[in-house]
Amino acid sequence: MPQGQPSVVPDDSLTTRQRRNRPLLLVHTGDGKGKSTAAFGLALRGWNQGFRIGVFQFVKSAKWRIGEQTVLERLGDLHTETGEGGPVEWHKMGSGWSWSRKAGSDADHAQAAAEGWTEIKRRLAAESHQLYILDEFTYPINWGWVDIDDVVETLTNRPGHQHVVITGRRADPKLTEIADLVTEMQKIKHPMDAGQKGQRGIEW
């Protein structure tokens, strides 16, 4: 674990405090396990620091519910009840976004993805959250449902101090170009390659 010491000191005339406080864009990509789990692990740190957290899952099925959602929403409730940590909002594309409550499982996924991104842009402009997790967001970008140039411009010019984490395979080079941190989760070995099924507590 990096202990907070940079390997070089840049000639950018910023103070240590300024460099410490820059908002980050993090990208977790690659074909290995751990991209989303690491993002939600980071949400724990953020919650503990009192960050306002917004999770936006670009998943096709709203039925796909992972344990992290239950726990992070529980932590959000705890914030409401006791003031501990920060507030948590969790939205899934699935059959329409939580804020639009549009019914129907035959929703147009491309349109839903575009609507999700439009809402995220509104929130970034309003500085609604301090940590955004755009889970599996590389897919709608790669499928052309969300315009990569718009994403790059919006994220580059986002106001205030808002961290953003994007997960998913095959991150667009334009995205990794503007990211502060990119980790490639590389699959060395996976139980499913040995024919093993996913299981509770591990995959969900």
Task: Name the residue nearer to its own copies (CB basis): 101 or 189.
Answer: 189
Q: Pairing state of beta strands 131-135 and 53-57?
A: parallel
Residue 26 CB, nearest approach to its own copies (Å): 8
Nearer to its own copies, 65 or 121 (CB): 65
Cβ nearer to its own copies, comparing 100 with 186: 186
| Torsion sign, CA atoms 192, 197, 199, 204 | positive
Judged by beta carbon, residue 25 or residue 120, the one nearer its own copies is 25
Task: Check: CB of residue 35 under 8 Å from CB of residue 28.
Answer: yes
As a whole number of angstroms, the distance between CA 76 and CA 112 comes to: 25
Q: How far apart are CA 198 and CA 204, in angstroms?
A: 8
Nearer to its own copies, 100 or 204 (CB): 204
Please, which residue, 103 or 194, has the CB nearer to its own copies?
Answer: 194
Closest approach of its own copies to the CB of residue 10, in Å? 3
* Smallest separation (angstroms) from its own copies to the CB of 141: 16
In the complex, the smallest distance separating the C-beta of residue 67 from its own copies, rounded to whole angstroms, is 3
List Cβ neighbours of 29 (8 Å cut-off, separation of 6 or more).
Answer: 35, 138, 167, 168, 169, 170, 171, 176, 182, 183, 184, 185
- The least distance separating its own copies from the CB of residue 71, rounded to whole angstroms, comes to 5
Phi and psi at 165, nearest 5°, equal -115, 130
Where are the extended beta strands (E) located within 71-172?
88-92, 131-135, 163-167
CB of 194 to its own copies, least distance (A): 6
